[in-house]
Amino acid sequence: MKTVPIIYTSPELEQLRQLVAGARAQLAELGTDYTKEKSRVDAVQAVLFRLLCEHYQKRDRLRLSVDYWQKLLDSLTRGNAEEAKQAGQNYEQAKTQSDQDYEELAVAADKKKQLTAEQEAELTQLWKKLVKLYHPDRFASEPDKLETYHELTAAINQAKDTGDIELLREIAEDPHGFILRQGWANLDFSDQEELTQLRRLHETLRAEIKVVTESLKQLRASPDYELCQLAEQKPGVLDELAAERARQLGVENAELEVQAERLAKKIKQLDDSE
């Protein structure tokens, strides 16, 4: 009679596998929800930015001018030519930096688009792949690989926060290739069945679930999220809001222009008296 071998499977091992699978599924769902809703909020904010950018940029330029004229007047009053020169240099640097910041914000705003239904469906599948990359403890004894893991998860989280679905797709489809292109140490993503590693992996997934849950909670409690919901319920509300804010900025900018002109006149009077 042929003997049939009996294969023993640890009950704890099977339980841990189920817990890890469940945690991965939960993290994938949370990550998808966060990215979808963040994309909606960012798209609304991008619309507002485009409507109001010119007004905000003018205000910031005027604020810099008023600050500069005031410092220049103070320096000239004290007869400190070096301080006056430095004030001018600081003003030019600040103006250049402000213009650069607005250019970068404009580029970022143009990239902020709400995900399509097809992209949202793809995102769900991507996250199911991406959560399998949360394996930090298996590299604990290999510092170079642990560093790669942290770099990889940072890239994933950055893509999640910015709604960069193309980068998420790139990482999910070929994590080894992505790592190679960054010049990082290679990682082994094959399944690990040891109890210790599964316990640690489960703890890691639970910690990440806590982080994403809190991020989603904060997002949904934010004024930007409330505005996003209002904009979806009432088409045209963003135009109304932008028009009112533009009016307020117009008043503020007019006051700043008066301040700048008054300071410039004082400086001219000071120069004429010398």
Q: pLDDT, tens digit, for every residue of 18-64?
A: 998 899 999 999 999 999 999 999 999 999 999 999 999 999 999 99
Q: What is the pTM of this model?
A: 0.78
Contacts of 34 (CB under 8 A, 6+ apart): 160, 212, 215, 216, 219
Count of domains observed in the chain: 1
In a domain, 208, yes or no: no
In a domain, 72, yes or no: no
In a domain, 134, yes or no: no
Q: Which domain holds residue 181?
A: 141-185
Token couple for 125: 């599948």
- Rounded CA-CA distance 62/7 in Å is 78
- Per residue, what are the HEC states of the chain? CCCCCCCCCCHHHHHHHHHHHHHHHHHHHHHHHHHHHHHHHHHHHHHHHHHHHHHHHHHHHHHHHHHHHHHHHHHHHCCCHHHHHHHHHHHHHHHHHHHHHHHHHHHHHHHCCCCCHHHHHHHHHHHHHHHHHCCHHHHCCCHHHHHHHHHHHHHHHHHHHHCCHHHHHHHHHCHHHHHHHHCCCCCCCCCCCCHHHHHHHHHHHHHHHHHHHHHHHHHHCCHHHHHHHHHHHCCCHHHHHHHHHHHHHHHHHHHHHHHHHHHHHHHHHHHHHC
In a domain, 94, yes or no: no
Closest CA to 114 of 34, 28, 44: 44
In a domain, 224, yes or no: no
In a domain, 98, yes or no: no
Tens-place pLDDT, residues 30-39: 999 999 999 9
In a domain, 171, yes or no: yes
In a domain, 178, yes or no: yes
Whether 97 shows a pLDDT value over 70: the answer reads yes
pLDDT at residue 133, rounded to an integer: 78
Specify the higher pLDDT residue, 184 or 187. 184
